[in-house]
Structure 1
């Protein structure tokens, strides 16, 4: 049961935002609702993963804490729910315009747009490329997936799920200004899946290093 201490990470991560808006009562009440919803979603996902997790040594705990922080950051930067509730006049043209400008289904087009229009394109592309690398590594490290193919498949489903949620958030934003308008891009799926492959490679590199180190210290009886 000690492993459920990690559920405190999202509480700390999102709890600090309450202090920022405490001075404005009306905004504070809205922020409470927003924070509670996001904490509930993250906590539910973490409980699902922790039920399948065994933390047997110090290094397992370190990886577990790092993954918990990473998971909060990943959620915050991709699908976090924001409440604005500022009604806008909705028309079908607005919806079509939102879909046109926020959805890209042409491979490589999004990457080229970033290279031409973003002041720091390398940062954004590399960020997307390695966004799910820790996720894929954790899938194998904690045995949440049975093999590398399954880890890549789960990562692929994760990135597709993120893009679908972002698409729905764009629709809600265009209709009612509920949340943040986000873009959905097939290139993000490609880059994220590539990052998952890198994560799988990092795990197998870790296994090889672990085997070499354990061979050197096997007489001492200490392993990690």
Structure 2
């Protein structure tokens, strides 16, 4: 049975998403500062989407690979230090802005566990979607590293918040 392959490039994805974002935000303006943070968060989301999915290739009836054993992929990286730095650091750095943006934009998620939990759930969602597309490898190590990045971002938020409060006093 032949495999069905659907390929979507980033500009094809970006145009309708950008149009929907602008339509949705047209009446949401409250204050300039919050709107700036919302738009930065949107751009961050686009960057994460680009890095984790594009070029998006959906393969029907394709073999899929998932690693559910922690540290297996990280162990292989010991033999390739540059790849290790890019992979490990990239996964942490990619989710640090999430941990920073969430408590700034939404008061309900200003707690450590809520921010870490959202980071973990978002990372699990990305890995699950990568598994479904069969074009990328789903890996539990990525979930752990992404969650660590969200936690790091939350700590940066706490630092930034304390500096802001001292500046106001």
Task: Please indicate the TM-score interval, normalised by the length of the shorter structure.
Answer: 0.7 to 0.9
Asked if 2 retains the 8 angstrom alpha-carbon contact of 1:145 and 1:151, the reply is no
Q: SS of the counterpart of 2:42? A: helix
Asked if 1 retains the 8 angstrom alpha-carbon contact of 2:92 and 2:145, the reply is yes
How many pairs are equivalent? 160
Q: Higher strand share goes to which structure?
A: 2
Asked if 1 retains the 8 angstrom alpha-carbon contact of 2:29 and 2:35, the reply is no
Structure 1: which 4+ aligned runs deviate by more than 4 Å? 41-44
Q: SS of the counterpart of 1:162? A: helix
d(CA) in 1 for partners of 2:108 and 2:146?
A: 18
Partner residue in 2 for 1:155: 119
Q: RMSD in angstroms over aligned alpha carbons?
A: 3.2
Asked if 2 retains the 8 angstrom alpha-carbon contact of 1:136 and 1:196, the reply is yes
Asked if 2 retains the 8 angstrom alpha-carbon contact of 1:140 and 1:203, the reply is yes
Asked if 2 retains the 8 angstrom alpha-carbon contact of 1:139 and 1:145, the reply is no
Quote the offset at 1:202 in angstroms.
1.0
2:49 matches 1:75: yes
- Deviation string for 1:45-66 (max 9, x for gaps)? x58x969x765244x4443343
| CA shift in 2, pair 1:200/1:83, >3 Å | closer
Structure label with greater radius of gyration: 1
Quote the offset at 1:197 in angstroms.
0.8
Gapped runs of 5+ residues in structure 2? 1-6
d(CA) in 2 for partners of 1:43 and 1:106?
A: 40
Partner residue in 2 for 1:113: 76
Of residues 121, 141, 160, the one that matches 1:187 is: 141
Partner residue in 2 for 1:204: 158
| CA shift in 2, pair 1:31/1:189, >3 Å | closer
Partner residue in 2 for 1:164: 128
Q: SS of the counterpart of 2:79? A: helix
d(CA) in 2 for partners of 1:128 and 1:77?
A: 10
Asked if 2 retains the 8 angstrom alpha-carbon contact of 1:38 and 1:81, the reply is no
Report the TM-score when normalising by structure 2: 0.76
d(CA) in 1 for partners of 2:83 and 2:155?
A: 27
| CA shift in 2, pair 1:31/1:79, >3 Å | closer
- Relative contact order (C-alpha < 8 Å, sep 6+): which is higher? 2
2:31 matches 1:56: yes
Report the TM-score when normalising by structure 1: 0.60
